Amino acid sequence: MNQPSPTPGGGVAAPQPHTLAAFEAAKGFMPRDEGLALYAAAAEAGALGLPLLEVGTYCGRSTLLLADAARAAGVPALTVDHHRGSEEQQPGWEYHDPEVVDPVVGAMDTLPTFRRTLHAAGLEEHVIALVGRSPRVAALWGTPLGLVFIDGGHTEEHASADYEGWTPHLAPGGLLVIHDVFPDPADGGQAPHHLHERALASGAYGPGPATGSLRVLRRR
């Protein structure tokens, strides 16, 4: 099922080499093969001429790839995060990084690192950062989207709110991409897997490529 999207010229859509280098150097939680699959999906969705949306910016690792695809397609990439980190990224938890704590307020703040990452890669103008809780932003949303990439909070509550808030805005033919889908509970948390099953069971999506824990579904 590893079939990256073809480009009009017949090749596989790939990010600019300097974007891929920036992606690999950025803090974050996505391996290269999944990043390339995300880029290919974003490149395909970009052809719809609609914005590409990410839930879960963190330090901008995956955002770089959406931004590069958005640049190529002439559409904006939107990325939503409150920048205070998920449960498992808080001090004392497995994925905590003390470098992204704001010493003044004593809480996580990934926004400065994200902005530096995007600026250094020269992709700032292609991205609109939405800083806030995903369901609160989604509740105000009214524009069709070409791609919805769900990589935010991994509790059942957060994951379902992302699905319910954003997928109604996905245009026909648009792509729903879900990260951290682990069918075997031994490999990771189950909330993203449940979203994937829910999306398939809804009948609104056709199955698409799977790469690592990344799943791509096409809106009918």
**Chain position whose Cβ is nearest to Mg ion:** 179
When CB distances are held under 5 to 8 angstroms depending on the partner's kind, the choice from Mg ion, ligand SAH, none that residue 198 binds is none
* 34 counts as binding Mg ion under rule CB under 5 A: no
State the Cα–Cα distance between residues 72 and 8, nearest whole angstrom. Answer: 13
* 56 counts as binding ligand SAH under rule CB under 6 A: yes
Active site residues: 154
* 180 counts as binding Mg ion under rule CB under 5 A: yes
* String marking each residue 29-48 x if it binds ligand SAH according to CB under 6 A: xx------------------
**Chain position whose Cβ is nearest to ligand SAH:** 28
When CB distances are held under 5 to 8 angstroms depending on the partner's kind, the choice from Mg ion, ligand SAH, none that residue 114 binds is none
* 80 counts as binding ligand SAH under rule CB under 6 A: yes
Residue 61 Cβ vs ligand SAH, minimum distance, rounded to whole Å: 4
When CB distances are held under 5 to 8 angstroms depending on the partner's kind, the choice from ligand SAH, Mg ion, none that residue 117 binds is none
State the Cα–Cα distance between residues 65 and 19, nearest whole angstrom. Answer: 7
When CB distances are held under 5 to 8 angstroms depending on the partner's kind, the choice from Mg ion, ligand SAH, none that residue 167 binds is none
SS (H, E, C) the chain: CCCCCECCCCCECCCCHHHHHHHHHCCCCCCHHHHHHHHHHHHHHHCCCCCEEEECCCCCHHHHHHHHHHHHHCCCEEEEECCCCCHHHCCCCCCCCHHHEECCCCEECCHHHHHHHHHHCCCHHHEEEEECCHHHHHCCCCCCEEEEEECCCCCHHHHHHHHHHHHHHEEEEEEEEECCCCCCCCCCCCHHHHHHHHHHHCCCEEEEEEECCEEEEEEC
* 152 counts as binding ligand SAH under rule CB under 6 A: yes
* 179 counts as binding Mg ion under rule CB under 5 A: yes
**Binding stretches for ligand SAH (CB under 6 A):** 28-30, 56, 58, 61-62, 80-86, 110, 133-134, 151-153, 158
**Binding stretches for Mg ion (CB under 5 A):** 29, 151, 179-180
